[in-house]
Amino acid sequence: MNKVKLSDRLQLLLDQVPEGSRLADIGSDHALLPVAAVESGKAVSAIAGEVNQGPYEAALKGVAEAGLGKQIAVRRGDGLEVLEPGEADCITIAGMGGSLIAAILGRGQALGKLEGVKTLALQPNVGEDILRRWLLNNGWVVTAEHILEEDGKIYEVLTAYPEGEAFGLTNEQLYLERVLPGGVICSPDMLLQMGPWLLEKPNAVFTAKWLGEIAKLEGILGSLSRSELESAEEKRSKIRAQIKKISEVLECLPKDKL
């Protein structure tokens, strides 16, 4: 039987899953990730969670076609509701907005579903800063960040461990104001926005992402330019300040990455 071939995005997510995991993939759709995790031997067992009927059926089909019905349970339900506390030690959530991922984790944590979970590997499509803030405020430390481009889209993958089990790293250290090599001060807010690890090792995709964000902000400035309302002027100055901060950070990056 042919093994599942993952996209670079999902492969990067799978790379974050520790060997021997009991994995739960939430919003699994075709169950590609849990199938590949079990096929590769990285996960000893997996749960594929899906809230919607169509993707739930696609997950059932994917698992049956891979012949992995004994190792992978496909369950229909909202977020982490499909898990019993202690059942999984690694959770992956990919392909949703950062605020939806944060809401799923928040509801799950309140229900005790993150008990025993040692690793979160998350791929928000947008709103990475919202997710970083949730992790920071809920006792999770981001231990690695990756960024990649696939089919013209840019994706970030965040890996987090519970504070106290994050290889000695604390959130206080991670989000401490720091001076970038070019001398610009990077505030905790900027670290949350752009990513503390991505800023440490920026690559060309990171630069492309933030040049794109500047272009979007300039577009908003342009559309606000005709308004004489006081509130529009307030928005304009906030956006100008944001563009200035991002540009200063980009100017500090090693020149071969620009």
Residue 213 interacts with ligand SAM (CB under 6 A): yes or no: no
Which one of 12, 14, 42, 49 is in contact with ligand SAM (CB under 6 A)? 49
Is residue 34 within 8 A of residue 13, CB to CB? The reply is no
Cβ closest to ligand SAM, residue 96 vs residue 102: 96
Q: Could you give the dihedral angle defined by the CA atoms of residues 96, 102, 108 and 113, in that order, rounded to the nearest 10 degrees?
A: 90
- Residue 209 CB partners (closer than 8 Å, separation 6+): 147, 154
Cβ closest to ligand SAM, residue 25 vs residue 141: 25
Query: Which 5-44 residues touch ligand SAM, going by CB under 6 A?
Result: 10, 26-29
Which one of 44, 51, 169, 184 is in contact with ligand SAM (CB under 6 A)? 51
Residue 78 interacts with ligand SAM (CB under 6 A): yes or no: yes
Cβ 109 to ligand SAM, closest distance in Å? 14
- Alpha helix stretches (DSSP H) within 16-142: 32-39, 53-66, 98-110, 128-137
Query: Of 45-53, 151-159, 163-171, 221-229, which part binds ligand SAM (CB under 6 A)?
Result: 45-53
Q: Could you give the dihedral angle defined by the CA atoms of residues 196, 201, 203 and 205, in that order, rounded to the nearest 10 degrees?
A: -20
Query: Of 51-59, 144-152, 156-164, 186-194, which part binds ligand SAM (CB under 6 A)?
Result: 51-59
Residue 11 pairs in a beta bridge with none
- Residue 253 CB partners (closer than 8 Å, separation 6+): 180, 182, 202, 206, 207
Contact map string, positions 85 to 114, toward ligand SAM, x by CB under 6 A: ---------xxx-------x----------
Nearest-angstrom CA–CA distance, 132 and 158: 8
Q: Helices 204-224 and 230-252 meet at what angle, rounded to 10? A: 160
Cβ closest to ligand SAM, residue 12 vs residue 104: 104
Cβ closest to ligand SAM, residue 52 vs residue 173: 52
Binding site for ligand SAM (CB under 6 A): 10, 26-29, 49-52, 55, 78-79, 94-96, 104
